Chain A
Amino acid sequence: MQGRSFWCYSIAGLWGAIALAAQAHAAGPGDSPILKRIAARNAITIGHREASAPYSFIDRDQKVEGYSIDLCMKVVEAVKARLEMPSLEVKYVPINTTNRIALVANGTIDLECGTTTNTLSRQEQVEFSPIFYITGTQVLVKSDNGAREVEDLKGKRVAVLQGSSNEQSLRMLNDTEKLGIELVYAKDLGEGALLVASGRVDGFAADGGQIKVYAATKAQPKGTLKVIGRLLTYDPYSAMMQRGDLEFALLVKRAFADTFRSPEAEKLYAKWFGPLGIEIEPELKTAFAIQALPQ
């Protein structure tokens, strides 16, 4: 047994050395089209959401901030190191649920850092980073609403974000359970929540994590909104990038794995969700651990 494990270690060591050597040599854009265009422009373009706090949003000082953005900055650091361009500029482009995939696919955006659910059909058009947040579709309603599940909103008006996975799940429920829910389309999280607050719709179906944050921080007056229902969908968030660029995808995966392996990921979570009183869920901790691939 002793001898066998010696061989294992030596082989692992050998591969490690090769990997290190390869890494050391892999400066510059290589044959990655995305890295090439980043190098050529001396700028990386990040797609961000405008009102999806605390994931990706513009604060009052017009700064783009959030949990997803901070994670993407780890990728930006890795790109800077790889291209040996420490003064690489970061450009921000605002996106929404209807244009985000097209903008990534057409190359306007190098890395999308928002609240996009990683789905297989989206993977036909774009590439995804490792998963950095896990949630599912729930419904935001007024606190005095007696509904407990989405089925209780049968025949009512419910807002969704156009093009979101929440919308697809509601359409499906409408078909299978004949709920007859009338869908009303909102542009962003704030607008959807205001539609509920102003009484124009009875509910707003969106990612549970996001609407919980909204109900906790933005409801006016406090405590007038609540989130109800089981998780209707499984929505794992990932960052998006253009499809078919293995080099860049690997760089992104590596940056995320490094972050997940270190305490940094949980620190970032605590930075953005701690003040809202939202603890990290065990599923997300497990996801971090599983995706913290070794070098």
Chain B
Amino acid sequence: MSDFDPDLLSAVAPFLWDGLLTSFGLLLLAMAGGGLLGTLLAVMRIAGPRPIAALAAGYVNGLRSVPLIMVIFWFYLLVPLVIGRPIGAFTSALVAFVIFEAAYYAEIIRAGIQSVPKQQLAAALASGLGPLQAYRFVILPQAVRKMLPILLSQSIALFQDTSLVYVVGLHDFMTAVSVTANREGHLVEFYLFAVVIYFTLCFAASQSIQFLNRQPVSP
């Protein structure tokens, strides 16, 4: 493993770059989809009538019971059999991430809302706001401030989770690195390279979150 050719990295750079773009694409789309679905689930669970709340709780707990790898496998291998139509690796992975991450976002959002003291809702309702208005103007703004750092951290975790598409061979950054490392026979160098890249990206992101977090918040 000692004869590492420095030109090798530039030769494979376009392949790895494409992989990184795929990782980012998955991240952004899954954040948007998972965030929307997650908010819906959280509000259903807290404010919905019993059956709706139970439904949302069932979804969240069901999805949180299963490994992400399993969800990715299901969508990749088995769903096409059931619906009788193939779906591509990217689409199937994206759907798996949205469905899966929504359950996690929902829990964070729920915890955020529940951390707002009960009296706030009572006060809002007493001052003549409807329940939707109370959530929109009183509860959610406070909840969002509390849960934003956790939501963003979860998104960093999501970015790292995109590496799991390795198991279905979609060429994200991780898979591209692994394919190259095995083909060129330089596991140590390529995996350490991936460590540097992932660490730099995720560390920068988590530092930004902490910076945001330190900004003064109105009491």
Cross-chain pair count, CB within 8 angstroms: 62
A191-B182, A220-B3 known; A107-B80 Cβ under 8 A: yes
A44 — which chain B residues lie within 8 A by C-beta? none
- Give bound CA distance, A198 to B181, whole Å: 14
Could you tell me if B1 and A50 are in contact, using CB atoms closer than 8 angstroms? no
Q: How far is the CB of B39 from chain A (nearest CB, A)?
A: 33
Asked whether B126 is an interface residue with its Cβ less than 8 Å from the other chain, the reply is no
Contact of B1 among A102, A108, A187, A220 (CB under 8 A): A220
Could you tell me if A99 and B168 are in contact, using CB atoms closer than 8 angstroms? yes
| A: interface residue count bin | 20 to 34
Segment from A4-12, A20-28, A90-98 that makes contact with B? A90-98
A62-B14, A99-B76 known; A106-B81 Cβ under 8 A: yes
Could you tell me if A190 and B168 are in contact, using CB atoms closer than 8 angstroms? no
Asked whether A51 is an interface residue with its Cβ less than 8 Å from the other chain, the reply is yes
Could you tell me if B183 and A190 are in contact, using CB atoms closer than 8 angstroms? yes
Could you tell me if B179 and A50 are in contact, using CB atoms closer than 8 angstroms? yes
- Give bound CA distance, A108 to B86, whole Å: 5
Could you tell me if A60 and B80 are in contact, using CB atoms closer than 8 angstroms? no
Asked whether A157 is an interface residue with its Cβ less than 8 Å from the other chain, the reply is no
Asked whether B185 is an interface residue with its Cβ less than 8 Å from the other chain, the reply is yes
Q: How far is the CB of B129 from chain A (nearest CB, A)?
A: 51
Of residues 178 through 192 on chain B, the ones whose CB sits less than 8 Å from some CB of chain A are: 179, 182-183, 185, 187
B81 — which chain A residues lie within 8 A by C-beta? 105-106
Total B residues in contact with A, Cβ cutoff 8 Å? 26
- CB 8 Å contact bits of B143-186 with A (1 = contact, 0 = none): 00000000000000000000000001101000000010011010
Contact of A197 among B11, B168, B171, B185 (CB under 8 A): B185
Nearest 8 Cβ contacts at the A-B interface: A190-B182, A108-B86, A106-B80, A94-B169, A106-B81, A102-B77, A107-B86, A191-B182
20 cross-chain CB contacts under 8 A: A45-B86, A51-B182, A58-B179, A58-B183, A60-B11, A62-B15, A93-B89, A99-B76, A99-B168, A102-B77, A102-B78, A106-B78, A106-B86, A107-B80, A107-B84, A107-B86, A108-B88, A109-B86, A194-B182, A220-B185
Q: Residues of A at under 8 Å CB distance from B?
A: 45, 50-51, 57-58, 60, 62, 93-96, 99, 102-103, 105-109, 187-188, 190-191, 193-194, 197-198, 218, 220-221
